[in-house]
Amino acid sequence: MAPSPKLEQAQSHCREFYTPAVPISPLTTDHFIGPTTLNSDGMGDITLSSTVDGATDLTLDSGGNDIFALAAIGGITPINNLTIINTNDATFSQLINAQTLNQLAGSGTTTFNGPVTTSLVSGLISMEPDFL
């Protein structure tokens, strides 16, 4: 499956985009060059099937559906800030390498199956109290 036109647009313009009812499943490493928000608009899961890299912010909002990161986030080039706005279950199968990690809302379980590294002096990892 080729990346959706909306994903390609997000990579080139670095804007928020929506993918109602279409999982986000790029097949190659994605290097984001500006702040990027992946938003399924509550119509489907977000699935990242390849490494996501880039010294920028990545925000994931599945609108209460699930998030699946099957490959590393910040595997080659660490990302600045990883923010999860809203999800049911979130599963990160590989490493996360970011300055900060924040989860603002969720109704299920967030699972980290790989190492999580934060690089700011404060090493901020923030999960709302309901998720601890």
Mean pLDDT value across residues 11-18: 40
- Looking at the domain assignment, is residue 126 inside a domain? no
Q: What is the pLDDT of residues 41-75, one digit of tens each?
A: 778 888 888 888 888 889 998 888 999 999 999 98
Number of domains forming the structure of the chain: 1
Residue numbers of the domain that contains 109: 5-113
- Looking at the domain assignment, is residue 125 inside a domain? no
- Looking at the domain assignment, is residue 128 inside a domain? no
**Percent of the chain residues topping a pLDDT of 90:** 26
- Looking at the domain assignment, is residue 102 inside a domain? yes
Residue 33 has pLDDT above 60, yes or no: yes
Q: What's the CA gap between 85 and 103, in Å, rounded?
A: 6
Question: What is the pTM for the complete model shown?
Answer: 0.74
Nearest to 71 by CA among 124, 12, 110, 27: 27
- Looking at the domain assignment, is residue 127 inside a domain? no
In this predicted model, which residue has the larger pLDDT, 126 or 30?
126
